[in-house]
C-alpha cells in the first residue's frame, strides 16, 4: 500500500485543560497513587498534546493509512517538560507531522516511519514539547508482533 506523504500536515491547533477525573484515572492506570498539588502525571503528555492540537489518534491513523491490528507500531518518544503539568491549567497546542520516511525493517518488510511534533504553551510560555515516532507497517496483519501506540 502506498500512502500519500502527510509530511507537513498541520494540526488545527487548540486548547486543552486536564480534568481532575482523567488525571486520576490515568494515574491509577499507571499503578501509582494520586499526585499532590494538582500535578498531572507526566504520561499525560501522550494524549493531551494530540487532543489539544485538534487531532486524534483516529485521525493520525487515517492520515497515515493504518491498515488494521498490528499495522501500527511505536518507535519512540522525545518529551520535554519546561515545568510540571497541572490539572486545571489551560494549555494551547500547535504542531504538525515533521517526518515521513519509507523504510524496510530487519526482516525485509516495508513500513512508513512518521514523526509528529507538538508544542504546549501555558500563560508563562512554552510548557512542554513532544516528538513521537510511529511506524505504519505495509504488510499482512498476521505477520505482526510489534509494539503499539
Partner 1 sequence: MKVGDQLPEFAVPSVDPARMKTMAAVLRDPYRVHWDREATREMGLEGRVINQGPLNLSYIVNMLHSFSGPTSVRRLTVSFGRPVFDTDSVVAGGEISAIEGDRATCAVWLKRGDEIVVSGTAVIDISHLH
What residue ranges bind partner 1 (CB under 8 A)? 22, 25-26, 28-32, 35-36, 39, 41-43, 46-47, 51, 56-58, 61, 68-70, 72-81, 84, 141-142, 144-149
CB closer to partner 1, 3 vs 35: 35
Q: Write down the least CB distance from residue 29 to partner 1, Å.
A: 4
**Which residues are registered as beta bridge partners of 111?**
103, 137
Least CB distance from residue 122 to partner 1, whole Å? Answer: 15
CB closer to partner 1, 17 vs 148 = 148
Residue with cell 510540571: 84
Q: Where are the alpha helices (DSSP H) in 30-56?
A: 44-52
Give the contacts of 124 (CB within 8 A, at least 6 positions apart).
83
Q: How far apart, in whole angstroms, are the C-alpha atoms of residue 77 and residue 117?
A: 10
Amino acid at each position: 500500500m502506498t500512502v500519500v506523504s502527510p509530511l507537513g500536515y498541520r494540526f488545527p491547533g487548540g486548547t486543552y485543560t486536564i480534568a481532575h477525573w482523567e488525571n486520576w484515572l490515568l494515574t491509577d492506570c499507571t499503578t501509582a497513587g494520586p499526585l499532590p498539588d494538582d500535578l498531572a502525571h507526566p504520561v499525560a503528555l501522550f494524549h493531551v498534546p494530540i487532543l489539544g492540537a485538534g487531532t486524534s489518534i483516529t485521525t493520525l491513523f487515517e492520515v497515515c493509512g493504518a491498515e488494521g491490528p498490528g499495522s501500527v507500531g511505536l518507535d519512540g518518544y522525545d518529551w520535554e517538560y519546561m515545568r510540571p503539568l497541572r490539572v486545571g491549567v489551560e494549555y494551547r497546542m500547535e504542531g504538525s507531522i515533521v517526518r515521513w520516511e519509507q523504510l524496510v525493517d530487519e526482516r525485509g518488510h516495508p513500513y512508513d516511519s512518521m514523526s509528529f511534533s507538538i508544542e504546549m504553551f501555558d500563560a508563562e510560555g512554552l510548557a512542554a514539547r513532544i516528538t513521537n515516532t510511529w511506524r505504519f507497517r505495509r504488510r499482512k496483519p498476521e505477520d505482526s508482533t510489534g509494539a503499539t501506540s
